[in-house]
Amino acid sequence: MEPPMEQVTANVYTNTRIRGCNPSYVATDDGVVIIDTPQLPTRAVAMREEAESHGPIRYLINTEHHVDHIFGNYYFRGAGTVVNHQGLYDNFMVVAPILDPFAYAQEAIPTDDPEGAAIFPDREEYYRDPNKGSIVFTGDLTLRVGGTTFRCLHTPGHTPGQLAVHVPEEGVVFTGDTIFNECQTWLMTSDIEGWLAALERIRTLDFEKLVPGHGPITDRSALDDQRAILLEWKAGVAAAVAEGLSREETQARVNFKDRFPVDVGQEYMMDYIMSHNAGSLWDKMTARPLRDG
Ligand SMILES: [Zn+2]
């Protein structure tokens, strides 16, 4: 039996217990706003149905371009207008050397959503219309739906097009993966300095409940916890670089495996996350501009 969506406030629902991000929706007096979509096909279809029971879907906002936040958009075609930051839009399901997002979405099906196989599109069909944004913006954007405000705040760091969505009437902020709560943080596409600034920006907002990108619903104490783990990663890799360790030596030494589990369904990725986190930070700390002469 599938666990139901969790009710966060009177009009806010999320799902923190399935593989993928924490897909959420907000019911207003003039329809529904979706924030991130389930990666698993049957969960995407079920969430759409549940959301539509509160009224028509007006907007679908994605918080970042990683596959676990956007793949399910495919199952929301024809339901509301998709809203993406430009930095997200430009990276939407783009195949990168370390990760093919379509293959990653497909890889989860046999273990996590076998019934989803029947509605999983082939690659060509998917890329014909993955349901990317049609409102694409830079900076911040505010939407009003009925009496509810959705402040889409550009908070880059985890990814370049990262958004936090602040809904003041509900006292909720959806941080996307700017917060990994009680689970491992993914740093591969990150800019740590930007990320630390993003945490401080979120700290200035007025809210009681914080819906993270991964892990259970929390509050503003998660901002300090996330800052601590970012600083620890940075310090650990910086010390290795300072000692002159190679990329491989740094990967062998620096990890935080014992600190948190990996989020639901990705337990087998612990070593992948640790080595790519350390390697990507080493690359950034050792990158030198070309010198002339
Ligand atoms: Zn994520």
Kindly write down the DSSP assignment for every residue of 136-158, as one continuous string.
EESS-EEEEETTEEEEEEE--SS
Specify whether the CB–CB gap between 223 and 176 falls below 8 A: no
Read off the tokens for 230.
């970012």
Q: Give the pLDDT of residue 99.
A: 84
pLDDT digits (tens, 9 = 90+) for 51-71: 999 999 999 999 999 999 999
* Nearest Cα residue to 93 out of 110, 68, 116: 68
- DSSP 8-state symbol, 256: -
Is residue 79 over pLDDT 60?
yes
Determine the distance separating the centroid of ligand 1 and the alpha carbon of 290, expressed in angstroms. 34
> How does DSSP classify residue 59?
E
Coil, strand or helix: which one is 233?
helix
For residue 246, how far is its CA from the centre of ligand 1 (angstroms)?
Answer: 29
Contact predicate 161/46, CB 8 Å: no
Q: Which of 119, 70, 72, 76 is nearest to 94 (CA)?
A: 70
- The larger pLDDT score, comparing residue 98 to residue 120, is at 120
The pLDDT mean for the chain works out to 94
Tell me how far the alpha carbon of residue 169 lies from the centroid of ligand 1, in angstroms. 25
**At 49, which helix (H) or strand (E)?**
helix 41-52
Q: Model pTM? A: 0.94
Give pLDDT tens digits for 1-23: 455 699 999 999 999 988 889 99
Q: What is the pLDDT of residue 293?
A: 45
The predicted-structure confidence for 134-162, as pLDDT tens digits, reads as follows 999 999 999 999 999 999 999 999 999 99
Residue 267 is predicted with a pLDDT of 83
Distance of CA 104 from the midpoint of ligand 1 (Å): 13
First vs last Cα of the chain: how many Å apart? 67
3-state secondary structure of 141: strand
